[in-house]
Amino acid sequence: MDRAQKEKVVEELGQIFESSGVVVVAHYEGMTVAQMQDLRAKMRDAGGSVRVAKNRLAKIALKGQPCESIGDLLTGMTVLSYSEDPVAAAKVIDEYAKGNDKLVILGGAMGDTALDPEGVKAVAKMPSREELIASIVGIIGAPASNIAGVIGAPASNIASILSTIEEKAA
């Protein structure tokens, strides 16, 4: 890799560190190509990405970034998982690590907050952006359906009373 390519990689990594809601660092030593492709596919489906980069270049890209604290985790064979959604990458990597003992979560960062492996697991348990939006819509929609039910109830009650009176009169 020549100097221009290295500069391009550092720039790309810098953009990843700057724009990602969460970055998770893990060791992947011993994983097969098929397992790595499976991890990439699952991460892509969740809206995240997986990146393997030279640790030295990643450390250069981390300088001045909010998540600069993860630089200490970049030793050995590391893989970076990241997503704009602050929960998606942590969920996927945590779930994948449960089924694959060769993927070991080292830690990560959410903005300027450094995460240890337990912190990554805690973030993975949080609801995703889509789940939060769905619950908020449900909360907002529930009163409206209750109001519609209350407004419609007297009319149906009056109709049933009138039909009862009509039946008695007949």
Question: Residue 112 in contact with residue 142, Cβ under 8 Å?
Answer: no
Rounded alpha-carbon distances, angstroms, from residue 151 to 10, 145, 154, 156 = 62, 10, 7, 10
**Distance, CA of 94 to CA of 77 (rounded, Å):** 18
Residue 127 is predicted with a pLDDT of 80
Q: Is 126 helix (H, G, I), strand (E, B) or coil?
A: coil
Distance of CA 81 to the CA centre of its chain: 10
Residue 138 is predicted with a pLDDT of 76
pLDDT digits (tens, 9 = 90+) for 47-95: 899 999 899 999 999 888 888 888 889 998 999 999 988 888 999 999 9
Count of CA atoms in the C-beta half-sphere (13 A) of 147:
5
Residue 93 is predicted with a pLDDT of 93
pLDDT digits (tens, 9 = 90+) for 7-23: 999 899 888 888 888 89
Name which of 88, 84, 65, 61 is nearest 74 in CA terms: 61
pLDDT digits (tens, 9 = 90+) for 24-39: 999 999 999 999 999 9
Strand intervals (E) in 84-122 = 104-110, 113-115
Residue 3 is predicted with a pLDDT of 87
**Distance, CA of 26 to CA of 168 (rounded, Å):** 78
Q: What percentage of the chain carries pLDDT values higher than 90?
A: 35
pLDDT digits (tens, 9 = 90+) for 109-164: 988 888 899 989 988 888 877 777 887 877 777 666 666 665 666 666 666 777 77
Exposure letters 25-45 (e unless 16+ CB within 10 A, then b): bbbbeebeeebeeebbebbee
Helices and strands (H, E) in the chain, number of each type: 6, 5
Between helix 33-45 and helix 88-99 the angle, nearest 10°, is 150
Q: Is the pLDDT confidence value at 42 over 70?
A: yes
Distance of CA 104 to the CA centre of its chain: 18
